[in-house]
Amino acid sequence: MSEVKTTAASSCASSGEFVPKIVMFCCNWCSYAGADGAGVSRFQQPSNVRVVRVMCSSRVDPVHIYTAFLEGADAVLITGCHIGDCHYVNGNDKTLVKYKFIKSMLNEMGMEDDRLMLRWISASEGQQFAEFVTEMVEKVKALGPSPLRKDGVV
């Protein structure tokens, strides 16, 4: 089972200021440990990301990604082990195939390119993890709310 963990208290924006909501899927064996590492090492990173731990990045089904967007996520990030390091031989290869399709589809729908990202982050790359999150939050802030976000969803 996947475990939902919020990196910080998700405070509701009281002012009109746009606070991006980002859903991040982390592979149990690499990126989740990377996220842990980022926390332990106290790297500064924004608190807009909700992390969902999955056993392998290939577990992330298109349904998960679409549901996240339809429920109001402004961006979805997928992270997994580097190619060749998969705990399950070739899981992340399959992730790549799926990612290619989903990316193409979202592009055709008129969704901005940066709203869905795939990044390989290993267990030791806490720094990279924090940087990736910071970078994505900045990008999404610039983009504004997702076009799939329903009016009235906070």
Which residues lie near other proteins (CB under 8 A)?
Answer: 61-63, 66-67, 70, 90, 93-94, 96-98, 100-102, 104-105, 108-111, 147-148, 150, 152
Residues with Cβ within 8 Å of 120's Cβ and at least 6 positions away in sequence, in order, are 30, 79, 80, 81, 82, 83, 92
Residues 50-61 as b or e (16 or more Cβ within 10 Å = b): bbbbbebbbbbe
3-class secondary structure, 127: helix
Q: Least CB distance from residue 36 to other proteins, whole Å?
A: 28
23 or 102: whose CB is closer to other proteins?
Answer: 102
Q: Which is nearer to other proteins, 75 or 148 (CB)?
A: 148
Q: How far is the CB of 152 from other proteins (least distance, A)?
A: 6
Pick 97 or 142: Cβ nearer other proteins = 97
| Shortest spacing between CB 77 and other proteins, in angstroms | 19
Between 126-143 and 31-40, two packed helices, what is the crossing angle to 10 degrees? Answer: 90
The residues facing 3 across adjacent strands are 53
In the complex with other proteins, which residue's Cβ is closer, 17 or 108?
A: 108
CB of 59 to other proteins, least distance (A): 14
Count of C-beta atoms within a 10 Å radius of residue 68: 24
